Amino acid sequence: MRELRVTPIKNGTVIDHIPAGMALKVLKILGIGETVSSTVTVAMHVPSKAMGWKDIVKVEDRELSAKEVDKIALIAPRATVNVIRNYNVAEKHVVRMPDRAVGILRCGNPNCITNLREPVESEFFVRPGEPPRVLCKYCDRELEDIAAAIV
Amino acid sequence: MGSWKGRDILSIRDLSRADIEAVLKAAKDQVPVAEGKKVSRALEGKILATLFFEPSTRTRLSFESAMHRLGGRAIGFGTPEGTSVQKGETLADTVRMVESYSDAIVLRHPHEGAARLAAEFSSKPVVNAGDGAGQHPTQTLLDLYTIWSEKGAIEGQSVALVGDLKYGRTVHSLAYALAEFGASLTLVSPPGLEMPREIVDRVKQTGTPIATTHRLEDVVKGADVLYVTRIQKERFPDPQEYEKVAGTYRVDLALLRDAKKDLIVMHPLPRVTEIDPAVDATPHAKYFRQAFNGVPVRMALLEMVLGAGG
């Protein structure tokens, strides 16, 4: 008997190769909460040849913005984003770690000028790695918990 | 000096070794003017704005003295009380206003990253005069200048940084810069006030020899420079933590008995109890000279970023 854990979707996005345990953070990045209008499927702790274990998130009737993809890259550097149109994979790409993270993280240093009411977007330098290291352009501090700092 | 005109001075790490050497040499030439023995009109007609969102006697007065010595003028405030800042104005707006009244801005602010933000909103050069626990590049430059002018070189000197190495911002930037110049470092701090690991790691990456200890008496004998800092009460979140470590180190004549003859003792000032006033009369004491050096170093920098004669 065939066991179908995750059904194919007609239109939407499949985010694969998320590090095991990070799927809920991906949902947070996508703003998926109580008021979501389409079907969202989450598979956690799925066996993976490349990663050992991984998480998968499928969101129907939605394609991701560049900013959302950058946010996902910061917590899931090896994630793949598959855009599904009419049951076919229309686009498939590996997320690319941005050199700079602009307006997507809040500085963890409470004394950083960007946490005041100033008309600037936060900006961080990203050094690749797993996990990547990010440094605030303004106060020079390294962000300790990237996932918690995503806005 | 062409590449200096209009340049922001935000962090010592924005300056290369060659840049720093250029400032040190220019500062040496400014000494007779800083001492009032020669007159300069290099910055006549220029206006410097000094915006001090938290008080700092030495830094503000030495910047203003530097500007006046070069024939320029200084405007500004030494505390935000009574300014539009208290009415809730953003730093970005304050800077946009002030840049239209002046040729360069010197900024001291309690929040880290303030100077970088100010520089983004100002077409005029911004000089960071201390941002919270962050950077204070002109202090580092005058510290380097003091070592260079007193010892003839920075490379090869054995420098002991003493005191609060965790919260003390001057020692963080100084450690980077000394490493860049090839000095060797010994870090002396009470337990719990050690230099942050990321800074030690970055210094080590330069290949600089670096030792750490809690005992000041062990390092005095081999040191060329003793850089003493105050344990700053205001940076401690917990007053009990402060009481535990206050007064750990005291440089006095007994401690200096075994020191090298040409050891220099430095301190960014103000001092409280870290250096016995009896040391002031010895040839080791260079902290007041160091405070004076703030003037020629800031003169050199102001002349460079304002493009003297331009």
Average confidence (pLDDT) over B50-76 = 96
Tell me: do A117 and A63 sit in the same domain: no
B96 has a chain A CB within 8 A of its CB: no
Return the minimum-mean-pLDDT range out of A82-86, B131-135, B151-155.
Answer: B131-135
Residue B310 has pLDDT above 50, yes or no: no
Tell me: do A27 and A59 sit in the same domain: yes
CA-based torsion, B264, B265, B266, B269: positive or negative: negative
A135 has a chain B CB within 8 A of its CB: no
Residue A4, domain member (yes or no): no
Residue B154, domain member (yes or no): yes
Q: Is B214 tagged catalytic?
A: no
Residue B2 has pLDDT above 60, yes or no: no
Residue A43 vs residue A131, higher pLDDT: A43
Average confidence (pLDDT) over B222-242 = 87
The confidence score (pLDDT) of residue B144 equals: 98
Tell me: do B237 and B185 sit in the same domain: yes
Contacts of A113 in chain B (CB under 8 A): 91, 109, 111-114, 116-117, 131
- CA–CA gap between residue B103 and residue B100 (Å, rounded): 8
Tell me: do A17 and A85 sit in the same domain: yes
Q: Is B261 tagged catalytic?
A: no
- Chain A residue at shortest CA distance from B88: A117
Contacts of A116 in chain B (CB under 8 A): 90-91, 111
Contacts of A139 in chain B (CB under 8 A): 111-113, 131-132, 134
Tell me: do B287 and B150 sit in the same domain: yes
Residue B184 has pLDDT above 60, yes or no: yes
Which ipTM score applies to this complex?
0.88
Could you tell me the residue range of the domain that residue A77 belongs to? 12-94
Nearest-Cα distance to chain B for A99, in Å, is 19
The confidence score (pLDDT) of residue B127 equals: 98
Tell me: do B146 and B89 sit in the same domain: no
Per-residue burial over B246-280, b = 16 or more CB atoms within 10 Å of its CB, e = otherwise: bebbebeeebbeebeeebbbbbbeebeebbeeebe
**Pick from A111, A113, A141: CB nearest B117:** A113
Residue B310, domain member (yes or no): no
The residue assigned the tokens 């946490």 is A115
Average confidence (pLDDT) over B297-310 = 87
Contact A116 B91 (CB under 8 A): yes
Cβ count within 10 A of residue B129:
26
Residue B157, domain member (yes or no): yes
CATH number at residue B35: 3.40.50.1370
Q: Is B136 tagged catalytic?
A: yes
Structure tokens at A137: 């352009």
* Catalytic one of B7, B136, B166, B286: B136
B11 has a chain A CB within 8 A of its CB: yes
Q: Please say which residue of A94, A117, A137 terminates a domain.
A: A94
B200 has a chain A CB within 8 A of its CB: no
Per-residue burial over A95-124, b = 16 or more CB atoms within 10 Å of its CB, e = otherwise: bebbeebeebbbbbbebbbbbeebebebbb
The confidence score (pLDDT) of residue B309 equals: 47
**Largest CA-CA distance found in chain B, in angstroms, rounded:** 56
Nearest-Cα distance to chain B for A52, in Å, is 32
Cβ–Cβ < 8 Å for B219, B213? yes
Q: Across all residues in chain A, what is the average pLDDT?
A: 92
Tell me: do B29 and B99 sit in the same domain: yes
- Confidence band, pLDDT 50/70/90 cuts, at residue B308: low
Return the minimum-mean-pLDDT range out of A89-93, B81-85, B101-105, B162-166.
Answer: B81-85
Domain count, chain A: 2
Tell me: do B156 and B56 sit in the same domain: no
Q: Is B58 tagged catalytic?
A: yes
Residue A46 has pLDDT above 90, yes or no: yes
pLDDT tens, residue by residue, A141-151: 999 999 899 98
The confidence score (pLDDT) of residue B1 equals: 43
- CA–CA gap between residue B36 and residue B46 (Å, rounded): 20
Q: Please say which residue of A51, A68, A94 terminates a domain.
A: A94
Residue A5, domain member (yes or no): no
Structure tokens at A151: 């806005």
CATH number at residue A69: 3.30.70.140
- CA–CA gap between residue A67 and residue A103 (Å, rounded): 9
Residue A7, domain member (yes or no): no
Residue B44 vs residue B1, higher pLDDT: B44
Tell me: do A17 and A77 sit in the same domain: yes
Strand partners, A92: A82
Return the minimum-mean-pLDDT range out of B62-71, B150-159, B238-247.
Answer: B238-247
- CA–CA gap between residue B48 and residue B265 (Å, rounded): 32
Mutation target among B117, B121, B136, B197 for the A interface, most CBs of A within 10 A: B117
Q: Across all residues in chain B, what is the average pLDDT?
A: 93
The number of angstroms, rounded, from the C-alpha of B82 to the middle of its chain's C-alpha atoms is 28
List of E strands, chain B: 47-52, 73-77, 104-109, 126-131, 158-162, 184-188, 210-213, 225-228, 264-266
- Chain B residue at shortest CA distance from A136: B113
Tell me: do B75 and B121 sit in the same domain: yes
The confidence score (pLDDT) of residue A2 equals: 59
B298 has a chain A CB within 8 A of its CB: no
Return the minimum-mean-pLDDT range out of A140-144, B72-76, B91-95, B242-246.
Answer: B242-246
The confidence score (pLDDT) of residue B133 equals: 84
Domain count, chain B: 2
Q: Is B172 tagged catalytic?
A: no
Could you tell me the residue range of the domain that residue B177 belongs to? 138-291
Tell me: do A28 and A77 sit in the same domain: yes
Tell me: do B77 and B90 sit in the same domain: yes
Tell me: do A109 and A52 sit in the same domain: no
Residues in B 126-155 with any Cβ partner in A closer than 8 A: 131-135
Tell me: do B158 and B253 sit in the same domain: yes
Tell me: do B177 and B87 sit in the same domain: no
Residue B223, domain member (yes or no): yes
Contact A118 B132 (CB under 8 A): no
Residue B116 has pLDDT above 90, yes or no: yes
Residue A3, domain member (yes or no): no
